[in-house]
Amino acid sequence: MNGRIKRRTLLFRIAPSLAIPAVLNAACSSAPGGPVAATATAASAPATVEFWHAFPTALVGTLNQLIKDFEATHPNIKVRATQYAVGDITTKTLTSVAAGAPPDVYTQGIAVLPDLVVQKALAPIDDFGPLPVELYPGFDQLTKFNGKRYGVPANGGITAMFYNPARFKAAGLDPAKPPATWDELRAYAKKLTDPATKTFGLIVPAAPVNWTANMWFGFLLQAGGQFLSQDNKTAAFNSDAGVQALQFWIELVNTDKSAPVADLNSETMMSTYSTGNIGIMPHYAGVLGAVKGYPFPSLSAPLPAGKQRGAHLAGQFLCVFEGGKSKAAAGEFVKWWAAAENTALWAASGGGMPTSEAASKHKLYQDYLKNEPLVKGFQDSLQFAVGTPNVVGISGIQVRVAEAIQSAIFGKATAKEALDKAAAQANAVLKG
């Protein structure tokens, strides 16, 4: 009995003190982490806006600058920004809403705005008063649902083409004259392709994710097509125009072999282009900053015209949650972001396109336009950029279209078969 701990001591002193930290650990490891923020009441306690975003790391510096400016002019509000990966933020936010603990604001990338409105998770922006600027009309359709606005674009996303002038010159093409029509794009891509040096004229995405469908949407518009019917009740992307648009991609990849057969996504498109072996890369304005950093200069141009011009308009929308702890403060933050000088600063840092005429005309952005040739293609595309319809379940439909694109590019189905299958799945979702 001498060396052994007395049973009583063990039972009532040591074991419980071992248990307590472990229990705390188990309880706390799942907590979302974050202080319990007091809501902004009569200028007494400061409000903390919990802001979840998926902006790239390259823009975090500008983000912190904007937050500092906001906090300076709004002394009772603090903004806590947490960065999430693009692929994670939607799931993370949706689960937090389901758990009843959403953030105050988040940046929406994948189009779940209508779905969130249906479950009454978002606060209408109009509740916080009028916006300081008039947004571009294209954003109305994307951020309004059932007549009310539920998101404010932090930046505009637009699809256009990046191209490698060195590859153009090597193929005997004039870098000042990028392809302006489908036929020209096809011819250029053929010229830029050289199997001996493993260079390709073009790359197109085929990964079965929303992004692929959105990249293709521009081509659908160029062929004169629509994503959904006018009343948003049936799929319209499997029309003749849609089949034409997908067939164009199939021929570029499989007939001309000007683009590799691969299921590229946003990141692998960029890493492939960065090797310098690709002539043309269609992509979004948001990656401008990254493309600038590649070991060769690039230029940009709008996507070519089919029957007409077309480009996908998107962007990251700031949405305010009803269940957030500092809703009023969050509304202030979101509205403030839309002001001309703030949006212009963001756009001038490579964060995407400006969201209003006022921001476009602001000196910060005008200077940026003058000094950054890479923006030209995207700026010129603003006038014919259109967003995908804003309906419940649209994100799942986009994934189905992307799957159709992938199976067509890999030769597992014709363009018509693939799109018809996706349309059937989409109609099932749209029906209810």
Partner 1 sequence: MDWQHGKCCHQISDAGAVREVAVRLPIAEKRRNSASRKHINPRVVRRPRIAEETLSAYLFLGPTLLHLVVFTAFPVLFALYLSFQSWNLATGANYFVGFANYGELLQDEAFHRSLGNTAYFTATVLVSVLVVSLGTALLLNQALPARKLLRSISYMPAVTSVIAIAGIWTWLLEPTYGPVNTLLATVGIEGPRWLSNTDTALPSLILVSIWRTFGYFALIFLAGLQAIDPTYYEAAQIDGAGELALFRHITLPLLAPTTLFVSVMVVIGSFQVFGLVYATTGGGPVGATNVLVFFLYQQVFLYFQMGYGAAAAYVLFAIVFVATLVQLRLGRGMTPEQQSNV
**Interface residues toward partner 1, by CB under 8 A:** 1, 7, 10-11, 15-16, 18-19, 22-23, 25-26, 30, 91, 94-95, 97-98, 112, 115-116, 118-119, 121, 198, 206-209, 260-263, 265, 275, 277, 392-393, 395-396, 399, 403, 406-407, 410, 412
Minimum Å gap between C-beta 203 and partner 1 is 11
Q: How far is the CB of 131 from partner 1 (least distance, A)?
A: 26
Tell me whether residue 25 or residue 44 sits nearer to partner 1 (CB atom): 25
Shortest distance in whole angstroms from residue 216 CB to partner 1: 16
- Of 209 and 385, the one with the shorter C-beta distance to partner 1 is 209
> Which candidate, 277, 250, 286, 307, places its Cα nearest to that of 163?
277
Cβ-based neighbours of 355, under 8 Å, separated by 6 or more: 133, 135, 136, 139, 153, 154, 155, 156, 315, 338, 343
Close Cβ partners of 183 (under 8 Å, ≥ 6 residues apart): none
First to last CA, the chain: 73
Residues 6+ away with beta carbon under 8 Å from 22: none
Please state the φ and ψ torsions of residue 410, each to the nearest 5 degrees: -85, 10
- In this structure, the number of other CB atoms found within 10 A of the CB of residue 195 comes to 8
Identity of the residue, 17 or 371, whose beta carbon is nearer to partner 1 in the bound complex: 17
Distance CA 397, CA 227 (A): 10
CB-wise, 315 or 393, nearer to partner 1? 393
Q: Which structure tokens are listed for 100?
A: 């009843």
Q: Measured from the CB of residue 15, what is the shortest distance to partner 1 in angstroms?
A: 4
Report d(CA 191, CA 197) in Å as an integer.
13
Q: Which is nearer to partner 1, 20 or 60 (CB)?
A: 20
Do 156 and 352 meet the contact criterion of CB atoms below 8 Å apart? yes
> Nearest approach, Cβ of 424 to partner 1 (angstroms)?
12
> In terms of Cα–Cα distance, which of 72, 61, 93, 49 is closest to 316?
93
Closest approach of partner 1 to the CB of residue 85, in Å: 13
Tokens of 77: 């509000």
Question: Number of C-alpha atoms within 13 angstroms, CB side, residue 187?
Answer: 10
User: CB within 8 A of 141, min separation 6: which ones?
Assistant: 387, 389, 390
Q: CA-to-CA distance for 177 and 180, rounded, in angstroms? A: 8
| Residue recorded with tokens 């036929």 | 183
Query: In angstroms, what is the C-alpha Rg of the chain?
Result: 25
167: CB partners within 8 A, 6+ apart: 192, 199, 276, 278, 279
Q: Which H or E run includes 83?
A: strand 77-83
Instruction: Fill in the DSSP letter of residue 194.
Output: B
Return the structure tokens found at 167: 């590859």
CA proximity to 304, closest of 177, 211, 127: 177
Q: Considering the complex, what minimum distance in angstroms separates the CB of residue 188 from partner 1?
A: 20
SS3 148: strand
Cβ closest to partner 1, residue 260 vs residue 289:
260
Nearest distance from C-beta of residue 54 to partner 1, angstroms: 15
Shortest distance (Å) from residue 406 CB to partner 1: 6
Smallest distance, partner 1 to C-beta of residue 9, A: 11
Which lies closer to partner 1 via its Cβ, residue 108 or residue 349?
108
Shortest distance in whole angstroms from residue 430 CB to partner 1:
13
CB of 422 closer than 8 Å to CB of 235: yes
- The 8-class DSSP code of residue 127 comes to G
